[in-house]
Amino acid sequence: MKKGKPIRFQTILLGLLILIMAGVVWGLLKPDNDNLADSIQPGQNTDLHTFHFSPDKSSIWVGTHAGIFEQNGDKWDSIESLAYQDVMGLEYDAAAPANLFISGHGFIQRSTDGGARWTNLTSGLPEGLDAHLLHMDRNDSNRLFVFVAAENSAIYETGDGGESWQFLMNAPNNTVAMTSVKGKPDLLLVGTDQKLLAYDLSTKGGQPQQLLDEPVYAVTGMPDGDVMAITPSGAKRSADRIAWSEVSLNLNEEIPLGIRFLDNGQGLVVTDKLTVYETRDHGETWSRRAP
């Protein structure tokens, strides 16, 4: 057998230099996930999905592809226990703030101690769960709805705080928002990138009623039973879901992550640029909130 040629020192050195340079280039080009997990800044591309806020509005949280971040002055700091989870849905019971729910790619979880510990809640849900939207019924905090994105997207519901889920109905694949309405337990509104639809849940398989014929960025049921929606043509409000009036909310062409109201009439909108707008008078007037 012939002996192989000896590997020269210069060849080894060249190989080491190539590996070192590759590592340097990767370090420059790869996303800085470590820093992203610590905090995010307005304008930073973080795939923002949703938001919520505490009853006294002292805390605001946003769900992102890298976990949940809480506003701290002009920046948003990571909640360590949820770092790197792709949180697309976030709900909690204002009457019992320690009860939290989150959803995302592959999970729905609940915490009953303010986020210290979490339990998976997927009984009755399909495998490969992709839970894009999560909504707590304004009439019953034990009832939640989840929009599951799939080839045939669907909405599931629970009436026992997530212990078990049941198929509710098929839903448009382009669903981007949904809300219940105060005083109307059989009504569910679904916003898509084309229109706003109203489903009568007492009529299984019934056709939805079209409320708005334009894309819907966000929609919410309000404390008094009204509905407020944000569309490309502006924010609008309706008491009967037939006649709509304009709302003086100017987001300066930023896209809302959602809109939320507390029962006392205080409300917030957080945008894709992490700008916060607030109202103290049931949505009549809005102002930009300083960090």
Q: pLDDT of the chain along its 291 residues, tens only?
A: 344 444 443 443 344 333 333 333 333 333 444 444 577 877 666 789 999 998 877 889 999 988 999 998 888 998 877 777 899 999 988 888 889 999 999 999 999 988 888 999 999 999 999 999 999 999 999 999 999 999 999 999 999 999 999 999 999 999 999 999 999 999 999 999 999 999 999 987 789 999 999 999 999 999 999 999 999 999 999 999 999 999 999 999 999 999 999 888 899 999 999 999 999 999 999 999 987
Q: Report in angstroms the alpha-carbon separations of 57 from 115, 166, 182, 220.
A: 18, 33, 21, 18
Q: Is 290 left (phi over 0), alpha (psi -120 to 50) or beta?
A: beta
CB-side exposure of 233: number of CA atoms within 13 Å?
11
- Global pTM value: 0.85
Closest Cα partner for 89 from 126, 63, 121, 55? 63
Per residue in 93-129, is it b (16+ CB within 10 Å) or e — as a string?
ebeeeebbbbbbeebbbbbeeebeebeebbeebeeeb
Report the C-alpha gap between 234 and 40 in whole angstroms: 28
